[in-house]
Amino acid sequence: MRELRTFELDEPGKPVSWRVRHGQSVAVLEGRLWLTIEGQAADIWLRPGDVFALPEGAQVWLSGESPLARFQLAETPAPLSLERAAAIARQLLRRWRARKTDAFGDCPQIHA
């Protein structure tokens, strides 16, 4: 299963930035997009219909050349590995511990 999100860049030349997760790609729907990838010397210009697979873990910047440039960000989740399952378990444990309260149920625990 893939997750698809559609974005519209309403200010030409103003970039948006994010750290790429596993399996993300950009598909241009409308307008031209300017893509910069951390560590790569050349920028990439994308036109409607172009699809670009983003390198996992890279910082990217994306901006539109014209008003109302639109793109779709697709993401295919990483397969569940033992390492990823352990990371999810650690995160859930941290959240569970943060929600523990004292005997009255409304005051967070304070550890001295």
Tens digits of residue pLDDT in 64-89: 988 889 999 998 877 767 777 777 78
Q: Which residue has the higher pLDDT, 2 or 96?
A: 96
Under 8 Å between Cβ of 26 and 52: yes
Residue 102, pLDDT above cutoff 80: no
Q: Taking residues 49-78, what's their average pLDDT?
A: 90
Residue 17, pLDDT above cutoff 60: yes
Q: Taking residues 104-108, what's their average pLDDT?
A: 55
The pLDDT, as a whole number, for residue 110 is 58
CATH topology of domain 3-75: Jelly Rolls (2.60.120)
The pLDDT, as a whole number, for residue 52 is 95
Neighbours of 44 (CB within 10 A): 15
Domain ranges of the chain: 3-75
